[in-house]
Every structure is written in structure tokens, then in C-alpha cells.
Amino acid sequence: MIRRMDAVKLDVQKLVAGYIPGHPILHGVNLKIAPGQITVVLGPNGAGKSTALRVLAGFLAAESGSVRLDGDEIVDLPTYRHIESGIALLPQGHSVFPDLTVAENIELGGWILRGDRRRLHQAVDDVFTRYPHLRDLRNKSAGSLSGGQQRTVEIARLLVSNPRVLLIDEPSVGLSPVIASQVYRELTALKAEGRTILLVDQDIRAAIRIADYIYVLNSGKNEIEGDRAAFEGDLGALVRGWLGV
């Protein structure tokens, strides 16, 4: 039985970060990711959306600013501490290890359980119960699967550690509209379990459809924000603004 978990919040304040010291991509970004909701970050290419996710996941150090998880500062913690605190990242693009089996790929998501093989095996079995079609594929190489099947493997791997916060980067890239719709339905189901979700996506309409609150970044800065209703009007005007038209 899937039980609803206690939701947590993320509070990002004045975040400055980049890949070359002194040349930040993010210039004081502020985000409030409400507990148990889907918060969407939109913006043109180069706006800093993926960069923000990497900082929140602990894969990229911030130059300055604050990231608080339920009030506790985590911005300077190492990556494994972010994972232990219940934060998990689904990166953009395909991230399966093609030469490993489906089961081996999924087991990699249980890194924090590596010292307790019984718990790890149970966690892996739990995600196979959630996605029963993957159980039949468990011994196949992940690289032999379709794009949609690989994305399910990636989500299953994400859930092995039972994270409370999911950072999702461009989940529909490379997928057919039918498979992408299935992914969005799964994100909605994960929200219903009490998980807090921060979603970055270029599929503006699909992202807004499942969003509770939306931020738009441009050139590494906050531009506009609001709830879903505020963005369900003229999306063309929003895109034209990004293009400077």
C-alpha cells in the first residue's frame, strides 16, 4: 500500500551560482517550493532553470544565497547529505546506464541504503511492485528499451530512496506525446502521495496543466510568477517575450 508522506518545503533566497567562478548563471534567484505541490519553473534556454536544480540537488555549489529545507540550511552540504535529506534529481535527457540491466539501474537509486542489503532489496522490490511491467524486463539491458521504458526506469530509480522532494528536469524530452502524458500523470500521482515536486520543462502547456505555482526565469533572474490561473491565458505572449519579439 502506498502511504502519503509528510510533505516538506524548499525556500531558495538570493541564489547566485554558475560553472565558472565570477561568472554566475543565476543572479539572486528566489523560489518558494510549497510542500506537497508541483512548482514549475519556466523560461527560455539559458535562463538558469537546470542550474537551479543542480544547486538544489547538491551537484553544483552556490556562490552565495540560501537553500532551506523545512527551515534547515542545506546550501553548503555535500551531495550525499542532500540525498539523505530526501532530495532526488531526475536529470534532463536519458540517464540510464545502457549496458546495465534494468534491475541494476534501479538498484543504483538506493545508494544511501547500500549498508543494509535487506532494506535495499525491499526498496527495489517496492518500485517493481509500483511498475510491474518493469519486473518482466528486470534482466534486460536498459539500453535495449524504448525511450518511454527508459524514462520509467529512471523514475523507478529515483524512487528507490523514497525521496520527499523530486527535482524533475525536462521529463518529456525525446518522448512521444502519448508517453509524455503518462509521465505527467505519474508526476501528479507522486504529488498525491505528499511529495514536493519542482519541475522544469519546455513543454509549457503540459507543465502549466499540472502546476500549482509557476515561476518564470529569464537571464538567471526572477521575471514573473503566479498560480496556474494566471498563466492559462495567452501563452504565445509569454514565449514572444522570451524571444524579444
Which of 133, 165, 137, 148 minimizes the C-alpha distance to 39? 165
Strands 62-69 and 72-73: antiparallel
Whether 29 and 63 have beta carbons less than 8 Å apart is answered as: no
DSSP symbols for the chain: ---PPPP--EEEEEEEE-SBTTB-SEEEEEEEE-TTSEEEEE--TTSSHHHHHHHHHTSS-EEEEEEEETTEE-TTS-HHHHHHTTEEEE-SS----TTSBHHHHHHGGGGGGTT-HHHHHHHHHHHHHHSHHHHTTTTSBGGGS-HHHHHHHHHHHHHTT--SEEEEE-TTTT--HHHHHHHHHHHHHHHHTT-EEEEE-S-HHHHHHH-SEEEEEETTEEEEEEEGGGGSS-HHHHHHHHHT-
Whether 171 and 187 have beta carbons less than 8 Å apart is answered as: yes
- Rounded-to-integer distance, Cα 199 and Cα 228, Å: 14
Alpha-carbon distances of 49 from 65, 162, 228, rounded to whole Å: 16, 24, 19
Cell digits of residue 167: 527535482
- Rounded-to-integer distance, Cα 151 and Cα 85, Å: 24
Which domains are delineated in the chain? 1-86+199-245 (3.40.50.300)
Unique residue bearing C-alpha cell 542532500: 82
pLDDT on residue 8: 84
Alpha-carbon distances of 227 from 142, 145, 162, 224, 231, rounded to whole Å: 38, 37, 28, 11, 7
| One-letter amino acid of 90 | L
Spell out the per-residue pLDDT of the chain, length 245, in tens.
345 667 789 999 999 999 998 999 999 999 999 999 999 999 998 999 999 999 999 999 999 999 999 999 999 999 999 999 999 999 988 889 999 999 999 999 998 888 888 999 999 999 999 999 999 999 999 999 999 999 999 999 999 999 999 999 999 888 888 989 999 999 999 999 999 999 999 888 899 999 999 999 999 999 999 998 888 776 666 666 665 54
Whether 55 and 29 have beta carbons less than 8 Å apart is answered as: no
pLDDT on residue 245: 45
Whether 225 and 216 have beta carbons less than 8 Å apart is answered as: yes
pLDDT on residue 236: 63
pLDDT on residue 1: 39
Whether 66 and 73 have beta carbons less than 8 Å apart is answered as: yes
Cell digits of residue 179: 508517453
